[in-house]
Amino acid sequence: MGVSVEELSVTYPRLYHIAQEGSWPGIQEHGLLSTEALVDLFDVDEALRNALLRARRPDSVPIHHPDFGHAIIRDQKPLIESRLRTALRDGLTPRDWYALLNRKTFFWVSEERFERLRTARAYQALRQTLIVVDCAKLLSRHAERVTLCPINSGATRPFAWARGKNSFLPMKDYPFEDFRRKRGRKNAVAELSVDYSVPDIRDLVISVSELGGGRSDRKIWP
C-alpha cells in the first residue's frame, strides 16, 4: 500500500496545471491558489463566497480586489450535477463535493490528460496558460499535503465514475500497485492535488506557456 516520493516522481517527472490566460503574473506573486484560497485572498463577500465554493459554476466568474486587481475563477462545465449526484458515495452531496474540489490545487500527471481537457469543445477557442512543474521538487516541499486521485474528479462525462471520501488519498495510503496492475504504470494516477495552495510555485516551475485560442503557442517563462 502506498507510493513513495521517489517512485511517484520517477513515474510522473512533470506535472501540468492549466490556468486562465493572463494569470501567470498573479500566480508568481501570490502562489498557485485553490478557489478557496483565491476567495480568501480577495476577501469575497459571504453570499458570493458560498456560490463560488459550494455550487457548480456553469461559467467562469471574474472577481476583483482593490489591491490585487482582477482574477478569473474557472467554470466547472465538465461536472453535470445530475450525474454527480448519482456518482457520489459515503453520504456526500454535490455541495460537499464542490467544497472539496475548491479546497485543492490540481495537477495532471501526463500531457495526454491536460491536452484532453484543453482541446475539449468547451475550451478549444480559449487562450490558456500551461504551467509545467517539476514533480520531485514539489514533493520535496509539499508531500505531506499531497493527495492522489484515480479519476478526473472535476468531470462527470463521458463517464460519471463513482467518487467519495476515499477518492483523494495521501501517498502513503494510495493503492498505486493495484492501479498499476489494472491500468498500467502511467495511468495509475489521474490527478495530483495539493491542499489549499502552493505558495512557492515559482520555485518549482519548469516552464509556462500560452496555448490555443487560434494563436501560436508562446513560452512566457522563463
Give the count of beta carbons closer than 10 Å to the beta carbon of residue 193.
Answer: 20
pLDDT for the residue numbered 191: 97
pLDDT for the residue numbered 112: 87
pLDDT digits (tens, 9 = 90+) for 189-221: 999 999 999 999 999 999 999 998 889 999 999
Cβ atoms 146, 139 nearer than 8 A = yes
pLDDT for the residue numbered 164: 97
Above 80 in pLDDT, residue 100?
A: yes
Above 90 in pLDDT, residue 120?
A: no
Closest CA to 85 of 153, 163, 158: 163
Q: How confident is the model at residue 124 (pLDDT cuts 50, 70, 90)?
A: confident
CA distance 71 to 34: 12
pLDDT digits (tens, 9 = 90+) for 16-74: 999 999 999 999 999 999 999 999 999 999 999 999 999 999 999 999 999 999 999 99
Above 80 in pLDDT, residue 122?
A: no
Q: How confident is the model at residue 157 (pLDDT cuts 50, 70, 90)?
A: confident
Beta-carbon contacts of 2 under 8 Å, excluding residues fewer than 6 positions away, are 171, 172, 173, 174, 176
pLDDT for the residue numbered 161: 96
pTM for the whole thing? 0.95
Long-range contacts of 62-70, Cβ-Cβ distance < 8 Å, separation of 24 or more: 63/38, 63/39, 65/41, 68/26, 68/30, 68/41, 68/42, 69/26
Cβ atoms 15, 107 nearer than 8 A = yes
pLDDT digits (tens, 9 = 90+) for 176-195: 999 999 999 999 999 999 99
